[in-house]
Amino acid sequence: MLCLSCMQRLPLTHFHRHANNPVEKIFWGRLPLMGAASLLYFSKDSILQKIVHQFKYNGHKELGLFIGRKMGEALAQAGRFERVDALVPLPLYATRERKRGYNQAGILCQGMAEVLGLPVLPNSICRRSMSDTQTRKNRIERWQNMQGRFELLRAHELRGKHIVLVDDVITTGATLEACGQELLRAGDVRLSIMTMAYTAR
């Protein structure tokens, strides 16, 4: 699905190997995490942008499974994400998921689960309402836009576990922060975050 040349051009971050990496710094003072990382750097007009577009909007789920496996391999090799119990995909609003046909974070989780042998818990949390686009908002506006958007459904699935919250691209982290705060309401939860890509600002 990707030629060797394209695979070699994928911009790996290696964040999973290092504490206090740029993704973890996003959440300092905002969300208590065991660890956080992104597999790839995202930039406009890059090969990764083309991959993301094909994966999210053109139905090429096999690309998401491929990247998800790479994310799983990164976590397995890191040594910093030990004793993970389950993967939780960042939920899409139901209408948007029906229109797209799948949740891209869920596909990434499937690929990760193949490598890590972990359960995926897609129904432990839901998105209560569709948010406005985040594209033109600053960090504070993005955070305000995401408040109250998520609802914890099955706290018992999460309680006492170390879970990894998974998404595709992280920019300010406002959406993941809001979802993570809701997941922590389950009680006795250790939380990590893993995304496909990181957008430097």
Terminus-to-terminus CA distance in the chain, angstroms? 30
Distance CA 160, CA 168 (A): 26
User: What's the rounded mean pLDDT across residues 147-169?
Assistant: 92
Say if residue 121's pLDDT is above 70: yes
pLDDT of residue 146: 59
Rounded to 5°, the CA angle 76-77-78 comes to: 95
Contact 75, 194 (CB under 8 A): yes
Cα separation, 184 vs 165, whole angstroms:
11
Q: In this predicted structure, what is the pLDDT of residue 108?
A: 96
Say if pTM beats, i.e. exceeds, 0.75. Answer: yes
Per-residue pLDDT, 134: 47
Mean pLDDT of the chain: 87
Give the model's pLDDT for residue 3.
62
Select 12-199's CATH number: 1.50.10.10, 3.40.50.12780, 3.40.50.2020, 3.40.50.150. 3.40.50.2020
Residue 129 reports pLDDT greater than 80? no
pLDDT at residue 152 tops 90 = yes
- Per-domain residue ranges for the chain? 12-199
Task: Please determine, for residue 52, whether its predicted confidence score (pLDDT) is greater than 60.
Answer: yes
Token pair, residue 116, equals 């890590």
- Residue type for position 194: M
